[in-house]
Amino acid sequence: MKRIEQYIKKISLVALLISAASCADFLDESDSSNFTLDNYFTKPEHAKSVVNSVYESLQPVMASGFGGGPWMMVEFATGLADTELGQAQNSLFVKDLVNNSDNGYGQTIWTSYYKGIANANIAIAKIPGITMDETAKLKLIGEAKFMRAYYYFNLVRIFGNIPLTLEPIDLTSEDLFAAPANPEAVYNQIVMDLKDAEVSGLPMRDASGRASLGAAKSLLSSVYLTMAGYPLQKGAEYYTLAAAKSKEVIDSGTFSLFTSYGDLHNPAMKNLGENIFMAQFAAFILPSSWQVSIIPYNRGISNYSSETGGIFAQEEFVKSYETGDKRANEKEFYYTSYSLRADRSKTLELGDYYIYKHFDVLAQTSTTSSGMNWPILRLAEVLLIYAEASNEANGPNSEAYNAINKVRNRAELAPLDGLSKDELREAIWREKFYELSYENKTWFDMVRIRKGFNAKTLEFEEYVGHKFVYGPTLKERELLFPIPTAEIRNNKNLIQNSGY
């Protein structure tokens, strides 16, 4: 709780450094009581403060309301999500494949993640000069490098050719309006940062929610898997690296699958069990606001005054789950009915499949303030990364089967065995789509494998030309999102992605 309060009280140093020109007068002040890069970093508390500010950039992307939420952008891009919120134009533009560079979701993601990167750069540059315990110093730098890697990993996959800045920036910096870097250079920097985080002394798990060794290894396995596929197509070597790194997480024994899917959305279990890394929230202090978006539009089932119907699952996708799959059962991953706010003894049939895996029961039926965290990395994903990478590197093998079957066993499905390499590959892809649905994972996998999932035929189709069940067809331009208009306008070195 104390750490969450620190988020709210954070000193947003980068805001002082790269905001509008009106800030220049403040920076020229001679009053030494003002914080600057030269006089702020003198105490251990300052080191922790700036690293806390790096984490803060996780929250804006999750903000949700009657305008939808930035986190929904990559969900509507899959063709597997729907909305009742007609006023959320940013959602509709992506969902109907008529997106453009004015989309506010993309702007929030770009601004938030680059702010996090800017603060990470300050932390990495300035913490070494602070007199403090060396072990604590290395851990904080490791956290900053992990977070910088996470932000860049998302940015390069979403926007493609992006600036790569690794030093603090002020209004006179040459890199204030940096040119885009080669995506491979961005990926290589992400790997370097995560390798540095691995040897920074972080614990395998941090139950307070800070970056950990388990998080660094898990993210690195995902990075290697992505580098093996599109757009870099580094192939076998990187599948081997992904398999080895994910196995380190699995073999650590630190993380274990929840026995109940209910624990995935139980605030008491955040940062525990299979949760490896999460965006942190706290009821009544920094509450998670997506609760209003995963409930039907104004149907009176929630104690929240806002019921936006911002996002729910496409019916065809939920019905494509294997017969007997527990995840598709009522109030496991999805729900189709709920009790009424006015009378909890009465149940309303909702007519669609709403997302239950992110549903905070206490907040929805009582407090209207959710302390749920958002899952970023969990063991189920790492098991499936291992299964896919191991199969690609070595063909079907007992350890790959064991990994995917752990996920299937919890879903009460029969274990897989005796498949060809191609058959196991597609089985793992399907398992990832089903297990990690609506967790901001599926679109990234679609782009990495260049495939879309046909929920009616259960087949994987070429990404370009894949038709959504409700009509529109993916074009090559949808392999990336448009760079926000404001960024193109302000930084003349940026080049808009093709097709936008």
Q: Please give the pLDDT value at position 176.
A: 84
- pLDDT at residue 415, rounded to an integer: 98
Q: What pLDDT score was predicted for residue 17?
A: 36
With beta carbons less than 8 A apart as the criterion, state whether 385 and 242 touch. Answer: yes
Q: Where are the beta strands (DSSP E) in 242-284?
A: 275-279
Write down the mean pLDDT value for the chain: 93
| pLDDT tens digits along 471-496 | 999 999 999 999 999 999 999 999 99
pLDDT band of residue 12 (cuts 50, 70, 90) is: very low
More confident residue, 400 or 20: 400
Question: Does the pLDDT value for residue 3 go beyond 90?
Answer: no
Question: Which region among 29-43, 110-124, 253-267, 359-373 has the lowest average model confidence (pLDDT)?
Answer: 29-43
| Buried b or exposed e, range 304-336, using 16+ CB within 10 angstroms | bebbbbbbbbbbbbbebbeeebebbbeebbbbb
Q: What integer is the mean pLDDT of 328-336?
A: 98
Q: Which domains does the chain have, with CATH numbers?
A: 1-28+39-75+85-170+177-182 (1.25.40.390), 281-372 (no CATH)
Write the DSSP string, 349-394. Answer: EEEEEEE-TT--HHIIIIIS-B-PPEEEEEHHHHHHHHHHHHHHHH
- The residue among 330 and 10 whose pLDDT is bigger is 330
Question: pTM value?
Answer: 0.93
Q: Which pLDDT band, with edges at 50, 70 and 90, does 118 fall under?
A: very high
Q: Exposed, middle or buried: residue 98 (CB in 10 Å: 0-12, 13-18, 19+)?
A: exposed
pLDDT at 35: 62
Positive or negative CA dihedral for 246, 161, 51, 280?
Answer: negative
Confidence of residue 27 (pLDDT cuts 50, 70, 90): very low
State whether the Cα torsion 186-188-194-197 is positive or negative: negative
Mean pLDDT of 387-412: 98
- State both tokens at 6: 């620190």
Which pLDDT value is given to residue 40? 83
Residue 463 has pLDDT above 90, yes or no: yes
The pLDDT of 278-303, averaged and rounded, is: 97
Give the model's confidence band at 172: pLDDT under 50 very low, under 70 low, under 90 confident, else very high.
confident
Beta-carbon contacts of 4 under 8 Å, excluding residues fewer than 6 positions away, are 280, 281, 282, 285, 286
pLDDT higher than 90, residue 28: no
* Band of pLDDT at residue 32, cut at 50, 70 and 90: very low
Confidence category of residue 26, pLDDT binned at 50, 70, 90: very low
Please, is 136 exposed, middle or buried when counting C-beta atoms within 10 Å of its C-beta (0-12, 13-18, 19+)?
A: middle
* Average pLDDT estimate for 262-279: 98
Would you say residue 119 has pLDDT above 60? yes
Q: Average pLDDT for residues 286-295, to the nearest whole number?
A: 97
CA-to-CA dists, residue 11 to 7, 46, 51, 321, angstroms = 9, 10, 10, 46
The more confident residue out of 291 and 4 is 291
Residue 1 has pLDDT above 70, yes or no: no
**Is the pLDDT assigned to residue 368 strictly greater than 70?**
yes
- Using the predicted structure, report yes or no on whether residue 30 has a pLDDT greater than 50: no
Confidence (pLDDT) at 173: 80
